[in-house]
């Protein structure tokens, strides 16, 4: 999978460059309101990687299916979970590069001011990318082509984006929406990013939200493995 993505220059540019481009765009949008950028900037570390990795992972996996590679793998004496973990490990390396680049750009040239160590934002960006990867793998099992994978985006990712707390704090949401937000993994990724930016050290809330996000990644990957058909 890494070899295939490395040969696909467009996918590599999308995976590594788009989060950085979005951070630059965000900075330009709030050039006259730095306080807003300082508030929103850390939170999007739990959002942008999810969306970008979802698109790349779902389409790359579908391409594997349409070319017959996935079918050949499924005929081998390997467990479905092993195949999913293989994809995950390959994309995890790219997610790490994505997290490092976007964090260095944000806290460096873009001037994002965070109280905690920068590596905490890298952790959240990587967890967000892994969440997008897991969702992409899950959706690819139900989509017949790349167009259908994109159509699943409003159902799989955008509701999380709306209720994650970026626009309205969770405690100010209507009761039902607040309940929905509690079961959305992106909510915890965004909260963890805010904790990393607002506190000088690793807080209990950060650890809890990061672990909850990781647990959601593992759960979705297990479900993705179960949906693979031999």
Higher-scoring residue by pLDDT: 146, 41: 41
pLDDT grade for 193, boundaries at 50, 70 and 90: very high
* pLDDT for 190: 93
CA distance 150 to 139: 10
> What's the pLDDT tens digit per position in 2-51?
555 556 666 677 778 888 999 999 999 998 888 989 989 999 998 988 98
Instruction: Output the DSSP codes for 12-70.
Output: HHHHHHHHHHHHHHHHHHTTT-HHHHHHHHHHGGGTHHHHHHHHHHHHHHHHHHHTTHH
């Amino acid at each position: 999978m890494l070899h295939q993505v490395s040969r696909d220059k467009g996918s590599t540019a999308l995976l590594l460059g788009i989060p950085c481009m979005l951070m630059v765009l965000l900075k330009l949008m709030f050039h006259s309101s730095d306080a807003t950028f300082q508030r929103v900037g850390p939170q999007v570390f739990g959002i942008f990687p999810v969306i970008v990795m979802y698109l790349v992972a779902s389409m790359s996996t579908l391409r594997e299916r349409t070319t017959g590679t996935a079918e050949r793998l499924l005929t081998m004496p390997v467990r479905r979970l092993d195949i999913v973990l293989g994809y995950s490990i390959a994309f995890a390396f790219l997610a790490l590069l994505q997290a490092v680049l976007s964090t260095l750009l944000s806290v460096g040239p873009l001037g994002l001011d965070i109280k905690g160590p920068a590596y905490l934002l890298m952790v959240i960006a990587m967890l967000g990318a892994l969440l997008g990867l897991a969702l992409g793998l899950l959706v690819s099992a139900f989509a017949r082509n790349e167009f259908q994978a994109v159509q699943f985006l409003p159902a799989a990712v955008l509701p999380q984006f709306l209720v994650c707390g970026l626009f309205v704090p969770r405690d100010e949401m209507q009761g039902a929406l607040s309940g929905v937000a509690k079961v959305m993994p992106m909510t915890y990724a965004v909260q963890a990013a805010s904790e990393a930016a607002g506190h000088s050290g690793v807080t209990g809330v950060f650890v809890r939200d990061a672990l909850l996000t990781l647990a959601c990644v593992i759960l979705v990957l297990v479900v993705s493995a179960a949906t693979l058909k031999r």
